[in-house]
Amino acid sequence: MKLRSKLIITFLILILVPVLFTTVAFFGFSHYQMNSIKKLYGVDNVTYETLSNTTAMLSRITREAYYNMQQRAETDPDAFEDIQYLDEVNLDLETRYSFLVVRKGGSFIYVGNENDQTELLDSLPEYGAHDADQEQDMGIYIGGSLQALVRQLDFRYTDNAEGSAFIVTSISSMIPEVESLIMDVIMVLAMILIFTSMILTAWIYKSIVTPIHHLQVATKKITDGNLDFEMPAGGDDEIGELCTDFEEMRRRLKESAEEKLEAEKQNRELISNISHDLKTPITAVKGYVEGLMDGVADTPEKQEKYIRTIYNKANDMERLINELTFYSKIDTNRIPYHFDHINVSAYFADCVEELSIELEEQNIELAYFNYVDEDVQVIADAEQIKRVINNIVSNSIKYIDKPKGYINIRVKDVGDFVQVEIEDNGKGIATKDLPLIFNRFYRTDASRNSSKGGSGIGLSIVKKIIEDHGGKVWATSKENTGTVMYFVLRKYQEVPVT
């Protein structure tokens, strides 16, 4: 959910939830209080309107007492001179938050409230000054500082004297049930607001503040150079997407740092290997040159042998330097290819002829088997394919440990491809090492022992060249028996024009 949507939802919840729950609570509490009022005061048909109108509510509470007094006035008006009767009526009115005032003629003979009521008594209406039908339900409102509701009952005593009975109710009074209702609604509203705020605060904190805190911690770690951690996944809002992007950035930074360290390690290893391998032929060249200078080679045969050895060692140094140069081109992906049509039979026959001279000097038997037709061609770079063959053969020579070594080269036609197999009877390669031999600088005791020399990138160069030709290279091996290197090149086929 997007952050904008969350803010809109939060706004709506803050408005709607308190209103909804407060409304439900109000109707629930008011229903309960109306039942209480009905039971306590005998008020029928209590409605929300009367419950919310204090005047109407107090008037209805005293209605029953008024009717009882009215009936008594009709049957026994002199009872309004009986103090005992008047106390009983006043006591009932007190439970209804009212009191009784009785007047006979121009004198007040009974006041049911002990407080000073002079102002109130002076404000009471005269005998017959009200419309009994109109005021029977609501009574007379006396404003000013009194704020009282007065219900007046006029009658005549048996001696024909004018009598008036007043039920006085203070408007400022409020029945406990209404007070309780208001307090309950206020408390519920406060609790709803607190609960809603807590829920929304926790939701916003979890979706906004927590991811920001994670970002701060992650930023501090990256600033300190620590990339070995994982950024907790965020949500599906903008901040969550930012956390995801931050984790992707951290992962790429870590990969880049690891690649840089690996590249530095490989470069150091390459320099170490090249330095070691250059040192050996240079030492040999210096030794043979000193032999010539000191006259140790005092016969033409010895001199020729010394010169040939110096030449071979110089070739070894040139090969190492070429590998180093080629390695730099691999890293920058700038290998210069010159693709052309190559006749397979003629090309590999020439390669084998060149190899045979070197292998003969090292007492290694070379056999060549061609199983392709004379007209089969491939599109390839002749120089780079020759580099592939030389690297594979050189690697085989290093690890031939038999008294009589041999290398077999077979060229086969396999459908749309030409497959070249180079087999030797060397030490072989362990099964666990076989999938890794084409990795840069990978060495094992069985396959690439540094004591045998070499830069350690020969087979990785083979893989790069063959794959750039659209082919594939792999190997099979058996320890103490030998290894077979395979690579395939796609055959050239003319597409007929229609």
Give the pLDDT of residue 235: 65
Give the pLDDT of residue 412: 95
Give the pLDDT of residue 20: 74
Closest CA to 409 of 386, 376, 430: 386
Place of tokens 């049911």: 112
Give the pLDDT of residue 140: 80
Indicate left, alpha or beta for 53 from its phi (over 0: left) and psi (-120 to 50: alpha).
Answer: beta
Complete DSSP assignment for 384-442 = HHHHHHHHHHHHHHHT--SSSEEEEEEEEEETTEEEEEEEE-SS---TTTGGGTTSTT-
Give the pLDDT of residue 107: 92
Structure pTM? 0.48
Q: Looking at domain 339-490, which of 3.40.50.620, 3.40.47.10, 3.30.428.10, 3.30.565.10 is its CATH number?
A: 3.30.565.10
Task: Give residue limits of the domains in the chain.
Answer: 3-47+179-211, 53-174, 279-327, 339-490
DSSP-assigned beta bridge partners for residue 365: 406
Give the pLDDT of residue 38: 54
Query: pLDDT below 70 — which residues of the chain?
Result: 1-7, 10-11, 14-15, 25-59, 130-138, 143-146, 172-181, 205, 234-237, 270, 273, 327-328, 330-333, 441, 443-456, 495-498
- Tell me, letter by letter, the H, E, C secondary structure of 113-172: CCCCCHHHHHHCCCCCCCCHHHHHHHCEEECCCCCEEEEEEEEECCCCCEEEEEEEEECC
